[in-house]
């Protein structure tokens, strides 16, 4: 049974898009981060619908760094027992 030609093209396109995404994540993470920010920034502006703002939150990259609310000295936990 042969698949319709458009379905074959769709499957190949999805595979190529997934491979490109993996390549960008592994080889060019800074470029991918800037691209995601450029795509998400216009969608979060004031006055945009809620669904558009939610989409922008999904597109935007996660916050960089693991610093806490105080600035990230990593010494704000309880003192270890001796």
Question: Domains of the chain: which residue ranges?
Answer: 29-61
Tell me the pTM. 0.60
Q: What is the pLDDT of residues 18-48, one digit of tens each?
A: 999 999 999 999 999 999 999 999 999 999 9
Backbone angles phi, psi at 67, to 5 degrees: -70, 140
């Amino acid at each position: 049974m042969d698949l319709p030609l458009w379905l074959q093209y769709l499957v190949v396109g999805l595979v190529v898009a997934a491979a490109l995404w993996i390549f960008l994540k592994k080889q060019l993470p800074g470029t991918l981060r800037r691209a995601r920010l450029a795509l998400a920034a216009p969608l979060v502006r004031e006055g945009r619908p809620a669904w558009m703002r939610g989409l922008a939150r999904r597109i935007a990259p996660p916050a960089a760094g693991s610093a806490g609310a105080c600035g990230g000295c990593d010494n704000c936990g309880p003192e270890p027992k001796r």
